[in-house]
Structure 1
């Protein structure tokens, strides 16, 4: 999947393959998509945009210790795939911020400015690391980046890859 930017940033209804892809993902990985997300998908009006969540994630990660980075990514994904919330809506991140004991009002105020940016440092870094497909799961270890996903198709395979990378020098 490519970034959903510019002309690709369209209402979710413009991507008719998503319900089928979600069904395959659910069947293969055993994940569930929330009823609120299903309703948002059926409504078809939510505009998908990769830029705002990338900016918000960078902002939030800068305010959290490293050991909470996975949890913040999980919270953002849950806000979308479970709760059906827009990842372009600043209040979504305000709600998430509260889960991490961050000041909601400050986060929302800051993100109003952050969302005015025209580039994302993480997009640039991903491009420099050679990331071409999404989702991609990278592990930074001793200044090097490793593709955790590799050819994994199940959670067990992902965990095995991660365990191996953590054991290796």
Structure 2
């Protein structure tokens, strides 16, 4: 299954790398498409931090850089789950802005599904929640075992002390 995951991640990540590079080289076209969405989120960005960029060209460039970095990370198998989550989060506004074009919207939804699968894929290894709950259970068992051993040793020591007092000499 590992070669399939590797190829799938490389193919999925390459779409975002190429798309991000195109957006970096000519952000003006995409900025016009993103302008309505940028205008809607401008008050939220200004409330969060007035230093954040709010113009559509800069927002397109920021998203493009995030797409390239996360796409490369996904394609190379580094930080695959966080990079897939970043790409999925960045794809949602893009999908919302493509509502007029049905083919683009369906493409984006397909990519979103693949990214969600990549973000949830643990490669057969247990997730963090499973590992932490089992670590807690193992430590509790170990603590109970240590307590039982200490009680048993204390009983043996007490019996030995009583027996030693009864011995002559």
The question of a shared fold, defined as TM-score above 0.5 by the shorter chain, is answered with no
More helix by share: 2
TM-score, normalised with respect to structure 2:
0.27
Structure number with bigger Rg: 2
Please state which structure has a larger fraction of its residues in strand: 1
